[in-house]
């Protein structure tokens, strides 16, 4: 069935590596601590973990099952499984989300690339204020920021032209263990800094009154979808390259545990290190949080330049394995559904994404209009993150849950999950979560978020 431009993973490990490469990225190390800081600390962490376990993990299984059954891009996949229905619109939403997310993701990945250089050369020095001022000056430098964004997009495109398998598998195999090792080292250093205990308390002792804060619930849900690459068909696409001989259940557990573990680990670095700085306020860091806290942490380490540069190299590589999956969703769609050649699809999608990326690149102080959009009180990049992460991804996930739970039906999906004698743990629990818990929880969170924003 597979078209000529389709590929396949070489093994289940290949799929786990590629899916983990997609999941682990800026979302874990930049996004998660930033969101925890804005969501009030440990309460956010608790809600996040519940979203991952009860909503996102079951949806990831569903996405991979859809992809493997159909062996097609996310739009065509819904058409193959339920022909003649409108479910394919779920896939189309994902294709758009791929472009939308990549447009701002590439900007932040560009910052990461620049910080390899800054830390290696010791360009950022001085007190905490100096780190913050350096970041502010850097992100408002128009030509540099645009150049870096285009560099990230160009690199992603050039890898994707050659096809997804092979390259990503190999990069990720090396990347994951080294990244985890370095993060562990940094966490050990961070928790032994003076004042670190305040950071640990902030991170681990939840303020229970915030658990039902609709803003926190929506942010945690969106962050969980974003971090696990769910709700936009990335896992459908990657599942479509998975062989029927492999066990989906175990593979998904691996990806979820790795991704969540790495995000939690990042928090054990940022908050202890942050709170060791006098007057530190995690809520005000915004997108610059890690770029101001981490260089200071590296400065406290012997050989800090080296550590810092190694860290940002790994983060840039982790971001790249994620941008690849973001671009692959719309590209796979144009190839599978419209018969485009891979190079043509890559060129067109990358060009469109670059255009959409410009306002995000200019929205952190470079151009006042994009930095604070009139009437919205937020920058263009923040607006993109809000639209795609907080709404598009959970809504995409909601439709995936409804599709598998009620249209394809649990029995049909289980046939795929248990194909060729594969074991799948607790099918009834999975079915219940997918049919009832996921749609109701996501639906309520979305409705209440809208009411809080517009209903007063
Ligand atoms: N999961 C990636 C991260 O945490 O950085 C971002 C991402 C990649 C989101 C792919 C969505 C996606 F489809």
Please give the structure tokens belonging to residue 49. Answer: 């973990």
Residue 3: pLDDT band (50, 70, 90) is: very low
Residue 5 pLDDT > 70: no
Of the chain, the percentage scoring pLDDT greater than 70 comes to 96
Q: What is the CA radius of gyration of the chain?
A: 21
Q: What is the pLDDT of residue 278?
A: 87
Residue 2: pLDDT band (50, 70, 90) is: very low
Q: What is the pLDDT of residue 382?
A: 92
Q: What is the pLDDT of residue 167?
A: 64
Q: What is the pLDDT of residue 169?
A: 75
User: Sign (positive/negative) of CA torsion 78, 240, 231, 423?
Assistant: positive
Query: With a 6 A CB cut-off, is 22 part of the ligand 1 pocket?
Result: yes
State the average pLDDT over residues 449-454. Answer: 84
- Return d(Cα 126, Cα 346) in angstroms, integer: 43
Q: Are 27 and 319 in contact (CB under 8 A)?
A: no
Residue 4: pLDDT band (50, 70, 90) is: very low
Query: With a 6 A CB cut-off, is 390 part of the ligand 1 pocket?
Result: no
Query: With a 6 A CB cut-off, is 71 part of the ligand 1 pocket?
Result: no
Catalogue all structural domains in the chain, each as residue range(s) with its CATH number: 12-454 (1.10.4160.10)
The more confident residue out of 201 and 456 is 201
Ligand 1 pocket test, candidate residues 60, 95, 100, 229, most atoms within 8 A of CB: 229
Residue 456 pLDDT > 70: no
Helix or strand holding residue 381 (H, E): helix 380-385
Q: What is the pLDDT of residues 63-89, one digit of tens each?
A: 999 999 999 999 999 999 999 999 999
Query: With a 6 A CB cut-off, is 23 part of the ligand 1 pocket?
Result: yes
- Return d(Cα 155, Cα 320) in angstroms, integer: 8
The gap from C-alpha 390 to its chain's centroid, in whole angstroms, comes to 12
Ligand 1 atom 13 nearest Cα:
229
Residue 33 pLDDT > 60: yes
What SS3 class is residue 363? coil
Closest ligand 1 atom, residue 25 Cα:
5
Query: With a 6 A CB cut-off, is 112 part of the ligand 1 pocket?
Result: no
Closest ligand 1 atom, residue 30 Cα:
5
pTM to 2 decimal places:
0.94
Query: With a 6 A CB cut-off, is 220 part of the ligand 1 pocket?
Result: no
| Spatial CB neighbours of 372, under 8 Å, sequence gap ≥ 6 | 378, 379
CA–centroid distance, 102 to ligand 1, in Å, is 9
DSSP 288: G
CA–centroid distance, 24 to ligand 1, in Å, is 7
Query: With a 6 A CB cut-off, is 94 part of the ligand 1 pocket?
Result: no
List strand residue ranges (DSSP E) for 234-316, in order: none
Q: How many separate helices (H) and strands (E) can be counted in the chain?
A: 23, 0
CA–centroid distance, 274 to ligand 1, in Å, is 25
CA–centroid distance, 230 to ligand 1, in Å, is 8
Q: What is the pLDDT of residue 164?
A: 67
Q: What is the pLDDT of residue 125?
A: 76
Of the chain, the percentage scoring pLDDT greater than 90 comes to 77
Q: What is the pLDDT of residue 105?
A: 98
User: Sign (positive/negative) of CA torsion 232, 375, 362, 283?
Assistant: negative
Q: What is the pLDDT of residues 348-405, one digit of tens each?
A: 999 999 999 999 999 988 899 999 999 888 999 999 999 999 999 999 999 999 999 9
Q: What is the pLDDT of residue 173?
A: 80
Q: What is the pLDDT of residue 182?
A: 92
Backbone angles phi, psi at 303, to 5 degrees: 70, 30
Residue 124 pLDDT > 50: yes
Query: With a 6 A CB cut-off, is 397 part of the ligand 1 pocket?
Result: no
Q: What is the pLDDT of residue 1?
A: 38
- Return d(Cα 134, Cα 32) in angstroms, integer: 23
Query: With a 6 A CB cut-off, is 229 part of the ligand 1 pocket?
Result: yes
Backbone angles phi, psi at 339, to 5 degrees: 70, 20
CA–centroid distance, 134 to ligand 1, in Å, is 28
Closest ligand 1 atom, residue 233 Cα:
13
- Return d(Cα 225, Cα 422) in angstroms, integer: 26
Ligand 1 pocket test, candidate residues 22, 112, 236, 388, most atoms within 8 A of CB: 22
């Amino acid at each position: 069935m597979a078209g000529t431009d389709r590929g396949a993973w070489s093994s289940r490990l290949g799929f786990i590596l590629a899916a983990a490469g997609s999941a682990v990225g800026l979302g874990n190390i930049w996004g998660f601590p930033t969101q925890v800081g804005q969501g009030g600390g440990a309460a956010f962490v608790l809600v996040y973990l519940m979203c991952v376990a009860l909503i996102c993990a079951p949806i990831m299984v569903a996405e991979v099952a859809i992809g493997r059954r159909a062996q097609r891009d996310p739009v065509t996949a819904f058409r193959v499984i339920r022909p003649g229905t409108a479910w394919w619109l779920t896939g189309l939403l994902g294709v758009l989300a791929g472009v939308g997310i990549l447009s701002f993701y590439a900007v932040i990945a560009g910052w990461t690339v620049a910080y390899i250089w800054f830390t290696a050369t010791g360009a950022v020095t001085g007190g905490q204020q100096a780190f913050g001022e350096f970041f502010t000056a850097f992100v408002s430098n128009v030509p540099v920021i645009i150049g870096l964004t285009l560099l990230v997009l160009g690199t992603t495109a050039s890898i994707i032209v050659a096809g997804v398998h092979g390259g990503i598998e190999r990069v990720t195999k090396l990347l994951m263990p080294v990244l985890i090792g370095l993060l562990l080292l940094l966490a050990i250093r961070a928790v032994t800094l003076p004042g670190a205990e305040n950071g640990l308390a902030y991170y681990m002792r939840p303020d229970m009154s915030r658990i039902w804060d609709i803003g926190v619930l929506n942010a945690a849900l969106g962050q969980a979808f974003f971090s696990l690459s769910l709700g936009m068909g990335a896992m459908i696409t990657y599942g479509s390259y998975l062989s029927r001989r492999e066990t989906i259940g175990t593979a998904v557990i691996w990806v979820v545990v790795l991704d969540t573990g790495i995000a939690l680990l990042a928090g054990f670095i940022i908050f202890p290190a942050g709170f060791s700085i006098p007057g530190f306020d995690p809520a005000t860091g915004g997108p610059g949080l890690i770029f101001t806290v981490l260089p200071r942490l590296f400065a406290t380490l012997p050989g800090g330049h080296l550590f810092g540069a190694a860290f940002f190299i790994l983060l840039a590589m982790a971001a790249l394995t994620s941008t690849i999956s973001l671009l692959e969703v719309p590209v796979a769609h144009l190839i599978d559904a419209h018969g485009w050649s891979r190079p043509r699809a890559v060129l067109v999608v990358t060009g469109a994404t670059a255009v959409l990326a410009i306002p995000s690149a200019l929205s952190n102080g470079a151009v006042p209009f994009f930095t604070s959009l009139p009437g919205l009180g937020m920058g263009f990049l923040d607006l993109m993150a809000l639209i795609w992460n907080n709404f598009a991804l959970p809504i995409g996930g909601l439709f995936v849950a409804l599709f598998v739970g009620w249209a394809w039906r649990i029995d049909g999906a289980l046939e795929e999950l248990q194909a060729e004698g594969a074991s799948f743990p607790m099918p009834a629990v999975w079915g219940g979560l997918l049919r009832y818990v996921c749609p109701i929880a996501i639906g309520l969170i979305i409705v209440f978020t809208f009411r809080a924003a517009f209903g007063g």
